[in-house]
Amino acid sequence: MGLLSNVVGFSLFGLMARMGQLGIQRRNPLENLGGHALSMAIFGGAGYYAYKWDIRAAELIAEKRVEIAARRQGQREGAEA
């Protein structure tokens, strides 16, 4: 469910950014629906890659913690000897 909510959240942010852009230009917000769809698709893709990046970063941090714990254990054993 995390991936879906991340992609939908980013795509809704893209829609709001597009609506804000047209509001600043004082144009009709429903003028070009293809532009809305494109903006939502781009931001949704960014949300997908942000989710994948977050998962990969968590894996790398977990691997690094295991590595640090093993190194500390080795230092403790070396100090006791």
Of all helices (H) and strands (E), which one includes residue 29? Answer: none
Kindly list the domain boundaries of the chain, sorted by start residue: 2-80
Indicate the pLDDT class of residue 74, thresholds 50, 70 and 90. Answer: confident
The radius of gyration computed from the CA coordinates of the chain, to the nearest angstrom, equals 23
pTM of this structure: 0.77
Encode pLDDT of 10-39 as tens digits.
999 999 999 999 999 999 988 889 999 999
**Half-sphere CA count of 28, side-chain side, radius 13 A:** 4
Tokens 């809305």 sit at which residue? Answer: 36
Task: Read off the pLDDT of each residue in 50-63 and give the average, rounded to a whole number.
Answer: 96
Cβ-based neighbours of 10, under 8 Å, separated by 6 or more: 43, 44, 46, 47, 48, 50
- The answer to whether 51 and 2 have CB atoms below 8 angstroms apart is yes
One-letter amino acid at 70 equals: A
Indicate the pLDDT class of residue 81, thresholds 50, 70 and 90. Answer: low
